[in-house]
């Protein structure tokens, strides 16, 4: 598609010359001789770029520029003048003009400036589309009372620099909420860095957070920046903060109090400006009582708390979530749209979903893959959920041989623990106090395989 350019200039020979130059460059060009005509042309044609004379018979080009950047900030504007001064050029740039061209115009300068302005417009459009895609991907889906309250909380704390502690079971969407907080803050164009404190061995976590100097420990072959350094001026998410050991908690407390830390192996303090968001599936009050978590760190992190209830406590959100996941899967994978029948949605609302939103999403994706046609009904879901989902406490109340019940309980427990630790088998074995080889062997015996998100 040809770039659309509007030339607003009351000098007919200038407008004609610019039009000829730009058409030779493959642009679609229209002209206007007054500010009023220029505004009408912008409304009717929605150009990509406006070349705007600073002296017009009915208005000042600078005033028209300000109005254009207010009404259509996405349109690039290049100012043109035969009476250029430094002050006017500065005023134009401050008011949003891309550049300022002085008459008499030269072919080379016009073409170069126009191409650069159009490229910036293209990149800005790409950025807007990326942002819109991110907005869509991180929407807060659902209309339950709990979800409405969550949206209210996010709108209150999102634009601030306040630290936020996000609590909730595994799979409830803590990472999504953390990203939402960053994306709707003044830091949205700055770095967003996340680290899972449970997935990294304790002896390496300090280096991951704060970086290290070359030679500071075995394997430190070069200087490395830590996550806090990388997140400077932005946001850092400390996921599973309840799994951080006490020694490192003390160092984190200092960062929260002063913004200062040292890389491992260094005595030179570094200072950063970072918004900290923490998330955990543990009850930190209980961890404090057990002397596993510092109370002073808890109070530093807990400026604002957002608790995400499990999906089983907000079944009214399930139809909207399931339909959203299904639409998204079909769109991303280029398959014809599908939908759930009413009976299928009612069936989903009756499920326990111990894995919360993550489990629902995985189930929807499996259903989209294996279900022929455009509708997913209850019978199709029953085939998928017969061995994966239970309603309420059915795992305890359904009568079957005790040996079978033990196997089912063990399978569900191990699946929950593996999900909690992002399928890090070494970490899971360490927390369960078993040998890694024994855990791997038992998973194979129980037929537990790594699900899609971790494969």
- For the chain, the structural domain boundaries read 4-134, 145-309, 312-385, 394-454
* Greatest Cα pair distance in the chain: 94
What is the per-residue pLDDT for 6?
96
Over the chain (455 residues), the average pLDDT of each successive run of 10 is 92 91 94 94 94 92 91 92 75 89 88 94 79 69 91 94 94 92 92 92 90 86 92 96 94 94 91 96 93 96 94 92 92 88 91 86 90 90 64 56 78 84 88 90 82 58
- Determine the topology of domain 4-134 in CATH: Rossmann fold (3.40.50)
Give the Cα separation of 21 and 360 in Å (integer). Answer: 58
What is the per-residue pLDDT for 131?
66
Give the Cα separation of 408 and 387 in Å (integer). Answer: 10
CB 54 within 8 A of CB 26: no
Give the Cα separation of 163 and 368 in Å (integer). Answer: 39
Q: Which architecture does CATH list for 394-454? A: Orthogonal Bundle (1.10)
Quick one: 308 exposed, middle or buried, by C-beta within 10 A (0-12, 13-18, 19+)?
buried
Q: Please confirm whether the linkage preceding 104 is cis (ω < 30° from 0).
A: yes
Take residue 254 and report the two structure tokens written for it: 């200092």
**Closest CA relative to residue 353, chosen from 390, 320, 387:** 390
CB 170 within 8 A of CB 356: yes
CB 320 within 8 A of CB 310: no
What is the per-residue pLDDT for 353?
85
Q: How far is CA 196 from CA 60, 184, 209, 421, 427, in A?
A: 56, 22, 10, 9, 12
CATH code reported for the domain at 145-309: 3.40.50.300
CATH code reported for the domain at 312-385: 1.10.8.60
Domains 4-134 and 145-309 share a fold: yes
Place of tokens 């159009």: 118
CB 425 within 8 A of CB 440: yes
């Amino acid at each position: 598609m040809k770039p659309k350019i509007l030339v607003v200039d009351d000098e007919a020979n200038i407008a004609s010359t610019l039009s000829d130059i730009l058409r030779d460059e493959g642009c679609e060009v229209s002209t206007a001789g007054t500010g009023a005509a220029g505004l009408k042309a912008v409304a009717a044609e929605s150009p990509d770029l406006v070349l705007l004379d600073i002296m017009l018979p009915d208005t000042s080009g600078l005033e028209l520029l300000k109005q254009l950047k207010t009404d259509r900030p996405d349109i690039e504007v290049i100012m043109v003048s035969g009476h250029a001064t430094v002050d006017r050029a500065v005023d134009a740039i401050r008011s949003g003009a891309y550049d300022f061209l002085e008459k008499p115009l030269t072919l080379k300068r016009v073409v170069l400036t126009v191409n650069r302005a159009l490229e910036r417009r293209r990149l800005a459009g790409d950025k807007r589309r990326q942002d819109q895609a991110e907005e869509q991907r991180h929407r807060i889906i659902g209309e339950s009372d709990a979800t409405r309250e969550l949206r209210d909380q996010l709108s209150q704390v999102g634009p601030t620099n306040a630290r936020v502690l996000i609590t909730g079971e595994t799979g409830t969407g803590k990472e999504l909420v953390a990203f939402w907080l960053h994306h709707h803050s003044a830091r949205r164009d700055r770095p967003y860095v996340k680290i899972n404190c449970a997935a990294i061995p304790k002896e390496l976590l300090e280096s991951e957070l704060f970086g290290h100097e070359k030679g500071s420990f075995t394997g430190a072959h070069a200087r490395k920046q830590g996550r806090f350094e990388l997140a400077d001026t932005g946001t850092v998410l400390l996921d599973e903060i309840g799994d951080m050991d006490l020694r490192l908690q003390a160092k984190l407390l200092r960062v929260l109090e002063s913004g200062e830390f040292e890389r491992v192996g260094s005595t030179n303090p570094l200072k950063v400006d970072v918004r900290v968001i923490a998330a955990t599936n543990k009850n930190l009050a209980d961890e404090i009582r057990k002397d596993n978590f510092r109370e002073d760190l808890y109070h530093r992190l807990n400026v604002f708390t957002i608790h995400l209830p499990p999906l089983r406590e907000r079944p009214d959100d399930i139809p909207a979530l399931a339909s959203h996941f299904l639409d998204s899967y079909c769109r991303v994978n280029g398959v014809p749209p599908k939908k759930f029948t009413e009976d299928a949605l009612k069936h989903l609302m009756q499920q326990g979903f111990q894995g919360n939103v993550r489990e629902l999403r995985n189930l929807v994706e499996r259903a989209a893959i294996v279900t022929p046609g455009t509708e997913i009904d209850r019978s199709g879901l029953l085939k998928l959920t017969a061995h994966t989902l239970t309603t309420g406490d059915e795992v305890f109340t359904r009568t079957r041989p005790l040996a079978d019940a033990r196997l089912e309980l063990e399978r569900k427990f191990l699946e929950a623990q593996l999900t909690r630790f992002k399928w890090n088998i070494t970490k899971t074995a360490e927390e369960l106090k078993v040998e890694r080889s024994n855990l791997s062997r038992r998973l194979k015996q129980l037929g537990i395989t790594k699900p899609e998100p971790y494969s």
